[in-house]
Homo-oligomer: A and B are copies of this chain.
């Protein structure tokens, strides 16, 4: 398998979708990306794990990072890709191999940009943050990410989405006492004890704060539940894994406090957490990019790695093809026209005024 970077962006996106790359299985896609970028004389290519970084070194006065993750959520009977002429369908088409295809086209097709560019195609975005390839660069090699602006090509319907919500996973656990299920009155069923936990989740009303004129939308959802010892044993333990998405006016500490209060009376442990990012539209580099691509800005609901750039002091926005509402859905797709629009807008901006 090899990629043809001279193919149009739609064909290239289909090729990327057809390389299955569910999180923790990014070796093959990283190999073909590295093999495609390596021969390009204007790029310095380095690899860290299954993350590929390709940089121009043209001595420009500005540098921009353009980044996308290579992994997807699990398969859901949605491979191989299918192009119906209007939309390209398939696992990851929207989140975010459409953005990756634009990145690869820019890397190959704009050899002499007005701004130096650092292209980053990375692993492990869809799972626990310890696996996040961009997070590993921040920790191990932050110099590779220095820039005046970062553009994350997460799906945003081809308009700029600013900021991002934070995300936190907690385990809410109930403890019972095992007993033979034929004599249940001698034990305590931990799964039954979890009924009020699910009741609270089902009744949850999301907070929707307005920040810099953008309306965010929080969420609190069970993303997993497990319990059970054997088919004839009252279980002594049930764990509900809950994902809290919090608006960027709330810190991680405030988010933890909220969740603990929400599940008052239950054992709550934090499994994973990443802060949100405020919209940051007061930063000149971000505002200039927004103006260049049309001026429209929406809030970003999903957590994205703009938060990692915010933490490094680099203003960052989301801008990519695909409807963010389709991310992680079985029927995800990316509109062909959005792929072309994003490539066109970014290529023009990169080639623009020196």
Spell out A's residues near B (CB within 8 Å).
Answer: 23, 73-74, 76, 95, 126-128, 165, 167, 169, 178-187, 189, 191-195, 198-199, 201-202, 206, 217, 219, 221-235, 238, 240-241, 243, 245, 272, 301-303, 324-325, 327-330
Contact = CB atoms under 8 A, between A and B. Distances in A.
A195 B201 contact: yes
A86 B112 CA distance: 87
Contacts of A23: 230
A262 to B, nearest CB: 14
Contacts of A243: 181, 231-232
B180 A221 contact: no
A230 B189 contact: no
Given A167-B181, A179-B329, 7 more contacts: A74-B230, A180-B302, A187-B329, A192-B222, A199-B199, A222-B235, A223-B229
Contacts of A231: 127-128, 169, 223-224, 241, 243, 272
- Chain copies in complex: 2
Contact of A192 (B187, B202, B329): B202
Nearest to A227: B225
Main secondary structure of the interface of A (DSSP, over half): mixed
Nearest to A235: B223
Nearest to A95: B180
A240 to B, nearest CB: 7
A327 B180 contact: yes
B301 A183 contact: yes
Contacts of A202: 192-193, 195
A77 to B, nearest CB: 12
Given A182-B167, A201-B192, A233-B328, A225 B228 contact: yes
Contacts of A95: 180
A182 B301 contact: yes
B179 A217 contact: no
A265 to B, nearest CB: 15
A191 B240 contact: yes
A125 to B, nearest CB: 10
B223 A126 contact: no
